[in-house]
Amino acid sequence: MTQPGERLIQPGAYNEMVMGNTAVVRAMVETQTRVVSSYPGSPTPEIAAAIRTISEEKRPFYFEFSVNEKVASEVAFGAALNGNLSCVFFKSVGLNVAMDTFVQFGLMNIPGGLVVVIGDDPGANSSQNEQDNRHIFKMARLTVFEPASPREVYGYYKKAAQLARIEQTAAVLRLTTHVCHARQKVSFDAYEPGENIFNADFDKANGPYIPITNLAIDLKRKSFHKLTRAAEFIRQEGLNTLDQGGSEENIGIIVPGMPYLSLKDVLALDDGFSPDILKLGVVHPLDFEVIKPFLQSHDTVLILEELDDIIEQQIKAFAQDEGISAKILGKTCDEDFIGEYTPDKVHDILFRIWPDRFVTAPVDVIPGIEVPARPAQMCPGCGHRSAFQAIKKALAKTDITVADIGCHTLGFLPPYEMGEVLMCMGASSGMASGLSLGNKDRRVVAFLGDSTFFHAGIPGIINTLFNRHNITLIIMENGTTAMTGHQDHAGGTIPVKEVLKGLGVEHVFSCDTYQQEVLTRQVTEAMNIDGLSVVIASHPCMLKFTRAQSKKPGYTRRHVNIDAAVCTRVHECVAVFGCPSFVLNDDGSVAVNKDLCIGDGSCRQVCPEQAIQY
Amino acid sequence: MKEFNIYITGVGGQGIGLLSQALLQAIDHAGLDAVAVDTHGLAQRGGVVASRIRFGEQVYSPLTMKHRSDLVLAMEIHEALRGVNTAVKDSGALVYLDVSWQPLPVRISGEKPMTNDDISKTCHARQVQVFRVESHKIPDPRMQNMAVLGTLAGHGLVRGVEKNHYLSALEAVLPEKIREANINLFESYMSV
């Protein structure tokens, strides 16, 4: 059997059970996308994982993890100006970082075509909010394809690429978390491998590319024309589809993306209620030539839309203008704007509107014996755990700790409770600076990951220096982008310490976090310095390290033991250090879960009795 | 069959992904058109993870509805009970591995850990069939998921999926180095 990466580039047709994120990559190959860029963030990093199953020599396109989403967007845009079909992909809130560049895409003539793949996160599964990026896509006047399944992800990417090329524009493929991660058997088409040549055809005559004053206005005018033609393309390609119901009730439902699947599941619960469904494959621009007759031919139409009421508002306004008499139902309460439209949620909504149409009522969770919650935790051996254990000792109770994005964010949870406010990537130094103003009694400590340092952390640090803010910044350095699956970052070639030196930071301390006493001392010293002091608290990501070790020949797993004769049950290991490998028995004794312990021994220094031994 | 829903749960780091992938492949090899979804991202760091697999004539979303799962597979005691409390249908089935990965609130705020007894009582009350896989009998903890898969295959808990489908799926998803040992263990559980 061939390897997955080999199959992704094979010219012949095949079918395979794949994740939505993998289906994107086969579509990239078939459409001869030439340049792909990204910054890792859930729910999209498995697109990169699939790309990396294709060896670099055989990969028919250039791929890079850029330093952040904005730069990634610029790289893809630049490559597309040269006439190469390009793609940039990243997560929902990554669009906030990319915004300055992204909003210009609709104005620009992009000869190669550009596909922007964005993983929105309804339900905020792995993000700091569940923002609905369709607002932004609408503002940028871009066409937005919204697939519901891996099969559609594959098909819609190809359509988006086609439109982007024809109109020399950017098109958006909007995925959501469970579309990215859904698995399904997809039939992939055959394709003719191209010559894999990079074009370098930039010509300013394709522009204008300097959008200032009246030129920006002209470009805006053109963006409307592109959108009108996009609506025609959508109609010709039949991307909005009618799903004829069987009943005579004269009810219609308009629904895009994954909520369509939820709706179909809910309607399958009972026989007898089968309204007509207009499934929107493209959520912007709306094709009113299809929507208008649908509204006219039903007495009642429900707009079933996840997150915000963007389609609903447009359709209601359209119906008002056209004097359409159908009753249009949409969101009626705050909860309708919140969370993923899972089958359960859609069942609740439909049952609320048409209770008499359902035999099967929504069920509640059956109250059984209450199971203790299981919050996410830092892994056994994680260097961040040792760091928090050590840093806490250097802080007064009244000091303020500011978190940032990364695995170390989990420090906010008990038993550490370090990092009391979190905003977004790289925001910690700036927030900490504000918290330090006029604040004589409470010292402020900010945390920042090493990938985040390069992504968005540097401007905040420069500001701290330039405006002489009094904070201590602790870089939680683990040498990777751990939370999203261990992607490399700029720190591998440009050491954080050298950057800080170059910026002129005078007080930089560094140590391995397993040296807890040293770290406590360094943080104590750093916090006594007036102005910016930085402590680089390093330890390699132990999940990544242990995985690599376990693949080496002769690897044997180690673990620690508790010497019951020495243990005085102070529980520093289990309740303060809090490594998940420790088990607290009913009688108060402590044991070690051998399946979990990696034998790193970072816990041994926390036991006042030295009861933790190999 | 209108729908058959499987809910697979455990703790991030337990290798739920491989179990769900092998089962999905087996269902695919049986000629059934299935959809599935796994948990990725933050929860993989020691939190609750869940995979869902669905097939049948009227199956659309990969997400399962509350209490409509025919089968719950759990790799851990607390998550087994959580799966029963949220996912399994009355008179459905639970296959679980009896290891305990103690949740944080048990260690730091004195909450009560779950036991095998809690699981059997709850399942009995709702006519859920229980298959307990005893972890201490499995020679290598890295093959725990094979014991769970073998148990469900041996009892024919997934309708329409036969032994040869499981075996060909394991051939496809397991790396060569560990394939033989894993398949041997799977077969030993299948014939119990």
* DSSP state string for A60-99: SSEEEE-SSHHHHHHHHHHHHHTT--EEEEEETTHHHHHH
Are B176 and B138 within 8 A, CB to CB?
no
Chain B hits for A268, Cβ within 8 Å: 2-3, 58, 60
Q: What is the ipTM, given to two decimal places?
A: 0.96
- Of the residues A261, A262, A374, the best mutation for testing chain B's interface (the one with the most B CB atoms within 10 Å of its CB) is A374
Q: What are the beta bridge partners of residue A284?
A: A144
A562 near A592, Cβ under 8 Å?
yes
How far is it, in rounded angstroms, from Cα A546 to Cα B52? 28
CA A312-A318-A320 angle, 5° bins = 105
Instruction: Judge whether A16 and A186 are in contact, CB under 8 Å.
Output: yes
Of A608, A557, A567, A605, which is closest to residue A589 (Cα–Cα)?
A567
pLDDT at A578: 94
Closest CA to A478 of A381, A573, A401, A555: A381
Residue among B42, B124, B143, B174 with most chain A CBs within 10 A, to mutate:
B42
- Nearest CB partner across the interface for B46, out of A1, A177, A376: A376
Average pLDDT for A206-225: 93
Residues of B in contact with A258 (CB under 8 A): 61
Contact list in A for residue B42 (CB cut-off 8 A) is 42, 125-126, 376, 483
| CA–CA separation, B10 and B25 (whole Å) | 20
User: B117, B82 in Cβ contact below 8 A?
Assistant: no
Is the torsion defined by CA of A140, A141, A143, A149 positive or negative? Answer: positive
Contact (CB, 8 A) for A181 and A46: yes
The CATH code that applies to domain A240-357 is: 3.40.50.920
Encoded tokens for A607:
């036991």
* Secondary element (H or E) of residue B130: strand B129-133
Q: What is the CATH number of domain A556-614?
A: 3.30.70.20
Phi and psi angles of residue A146, each rounded to the nearest 5 degrees, phi first: -130, 95
User: What is the model's pLDDT at position B45?
Assistant: 78
A395 close to A524: Cβ distance less than 8 angstroms: no
The structure tokens 């994740």 sit at A19
**pLDDT above 90 (res A534):** yes
What pLDDT does A320 receive?
97
Q: Give the pLDDT mean for B130-149.
A: 94
The one-character DSSP state at A333 is S
Does residue A444 sit in helix, strand or coil? strand
Please tell me the distance from the alpha carbon of residue B28 to that of residue B165, in angstroms, as a whole number.
8
Q: Which CATH number does the domain A383-547 belong to among 3.40.50.880, 3.40.50.970, 3.40.605.10, 3.90.1300.10?
A: 3.40.50.970
CATH number of A4-236: 3.40.50.970
Strands (E), A396-532: 400-402, 444-449, 472-477, 507-512
Residues 6+ apart with CB under 8 A from A15: A185, A186, A187, A188
Residue A1 has pLDDT above 60, yes or no: no
Name the 3-class secondary structure at A492. Answer: helix
Residue ranges of the domains in chain A? 4-236, 240-357, 383-547, 556-614
Question: Which residue of B lies nearest to A345 if distances are taken between CA atoms?
Answer: B65
In this predicted structure, what is the pLDDT of residue A504? 95
Q: Are A164 and A31 in contact (CB under 8 A)?
A: no
Cβ contact (<8 Å) for B40 and A46?
yes
CA–CA dist B170, A4 (Å, integer): 16
Neighbouring residues of B20: CB distance < 8 A, sequence distance ≥ 6: B8, B36, B38, B51, B53
Residue range(s) defining the domain that contains residue B185: 4-190
**pLDDT, tens only, A6-28:** 999 999 999 999 999 999 999 99
- HSE on the CB side for B42, CA within 13 Å? 16
Residue B60 touches partner A, C-beta closer than 8 Å: yes
Query: How far apart, in Å, are the Cα atoms of A230 and each of A142, A159, A281?
Result: 9, 11, 13
pLDDT tens, A248-273?
A: 679 999 999 999 999 999 999 988 89
Q: Does B142 touch chain A (CB under 8 A)?
A: no
- Per-residue model confidence as pLDDT tens digits over A45-77: 999 999 999 999 999 999 999 999 999 999 999
A243 min Cα distance to partner chain B (Å): 14
Tell me the C-alpha distance between A601 and A596, whole Å: 13
Q: Is the pTM of this model over 0.90?
A: yes
The pLDDT confidence band at residue B53, using thresholds 50, 70 and 90, is: very high
pLDDT in tens, A540-579: 999 999 989 988 888 888 999 999 999 999 999 999 999 9
Residues A12 and A190: their CA atoms lie apart, in Å, by 4
From A240's Cα to the closest Cα of chain B, the distance in A is 18
Q: Strand A114-120 vs strand A86-91: parallel, antiparallel, or unpaired?
A: parallel
Residue in chain A closest to B144 (alpha carbons) equals A595
CATH of the domain at B95: 3.40.920.10
DSSP element (H, E) containing B91: strand B88-97
- Taking the C-alpha atoms of residue A36 and residue A88, their distance in angstroms, rounded to an integer, is 6
Per the structure block, which two tokens stand in for A509? 């301390």
Say if strands A612-613 and A561-562 run parallel, antiparallel, or are unpaired: antiparallel
Domains A4-236 and A240-357 are alike in CATH topology? yes
Distance of CA A203 to the CA centre of its chain: 35
CA A527, A528, A532, A534 torsion-angle sign? negative
Task: Mean pLDDT check: name the lowest of A143-147, A192-196, A530-534, B164-168.
Answer: A192-196
Confidence of residue B142 (pLDDT cuts 50, 70, 90): confident
Q: How far is B6 from chain A (nearest CA, A)?
A: 14
Provide the token pair at A591.
């044991």
Q: Are A379 and B46 within 8 A, CB to CB? A: yes
Asked if A183 and B2 come within 8 Å (Cβ–Cβ), the reply is no
**Number of compact structural domains in chain B:** 1
Amino acid occupying residue B77: I
Q: What separation in angstroms does the CA of A203 have from each of A111, A206, A207, A220?
A: 10, 6, 8, 20
User: What does the alpha-carbon distance between residue A76 and residue A488 come to, in Å, rounded to a whole number?
Assistant: 19
Subunit contact B60:A264, Cβ cutoff 8 A: yes
Contacts of B174 (CB under 8 A, 6+ apart): B22, B182, B183
